[in-house]
Amino acid sequence: MGLTSTPFLVLLIVLTFVAMAVTLLLWGRVPGPGWLRWPARTLMIVLCQVTAIATVATDINNSYGLYASWDDLMGTVDANATAMTGPPPKRAKFTAAADGVRTTYFRGPHSHLAGHVLVWTPPEYDDRARHGTRFPVMMLLHGVPGAPESWIEQGGMPGTFAQYVRQGTARPAILVMPVIDPGGEDTDCTDTPRRKVARWLADDVPTLIAQHFRTLPGPRGMGVMGISTGGFCAAKLPLQYPKVFGAGVALDPDPLTGDVSVLSDARLRERTSPMWLVSHNPPGTSLFLGTSSQDPDSPPSYIEEFAKAAVGTRVKVTTRIVPDGGHNWGTWTAFFPQAMPWLSDHLDAPR
């Protein structure tokens, strides 16, 4: 029985009331002399207090996500792993923000990391005639330094995507913008001994969205798009987690062989890089990679080498190289009219 499970909380509530009932029933019936009766009565009071405190403590833990499991509580999880606090997915509270965006802060039960996630649902989501319809999800990954809010403040979301839907070049979808460096430590969306960021993005965030919104199941129900470091992540996550992400869009991605300044462990850096993953029996997936000829941080050679490595594999690669533009939002937003409809086409339609 899990620490944060509803049956465990219900069991504690029942035990609390049973302890109270037994105390009331037996209080005047304890046999023996006074020196024996009072310790017995004290024990009954302590039992009532312990069960009540355990119930309240469990409810608080479930609300704030202080401990995700018995191992977490007992300290038997990896001692080197970072653990953060926050409510678990089911108890996460979404707060309305501007332009129909909702924001929440939660703690992932698998990564033990916590962070902000922004979510936008299309107008069709609230249409009474489509109250049972499920929608695909587009996960948008920011760069580093950066934040989920940059997709709104500089990327023009969700208005830009809503415009594509109105024009008929993209289908309605839920936009999800999570933090990709919980706690402010960049790992290139990789699971390290200290931070399980890949699990945060590929397990915890999708679980959060599935529990609170009507989403399509399977990889055809979720795609990922990223810029800069987020672009690197958008290229690797569909290769690592093909059962979660059906397609990815990487705009001006970081070095696709891995960034030495981010991951010092050479083997970990290599084995989790998009270049290594696409060269070693990759799963069938589709990737869109774009950059500018003028971008010194993400030159065309990055994606050209990747596309060459993908030849003969089950990975379908679409590349776009524009002649002008630097490593900035001006370049990235210029890709949106091609990239977002492309991602929409590689996901299932709402149904």
pLDDT class of 71 with cuts at 50, 70, 90: low
Instruction: State the pTM of this model.
Output: 0.82
Span 297-333, pLDDT tens digits: 999 999 999 999 999 999 999 999 999 999 999 999 9
Return d(Cα 113, Cα 118) in angstroms, integer: 16
The closest of 332, 317, 173 to 238, measured between CA atoms, is 317
**Which pLDDT belongs to residue 45?**
86
- Nearest CA to 160 out of 35, 346, 337, 343 is that of 337
Strands 114-120 and 174-178: antiparallel
Q: What average pLDDT is seen over the chain?
A: 91
Band (pLDDT 50/70/90 cuts) for residue 20 is: confident
Separation of alpha carbons 67 and 58, rounded Å: 10
Q: Write the pLDDT tens digit of every residue in 193-225.
A: 999 999 999 999 999 999 999 999 999 999 999
pLDDT > 90: percent of the chain:
74
pLDDT (tens digit per residue) in 89-113: 999 999 999 889 999 999 999 999 9
User: Measured between alpha carbons, how far is 106 from 98 in angstroms, rounded to an integer?
Assistant: 20
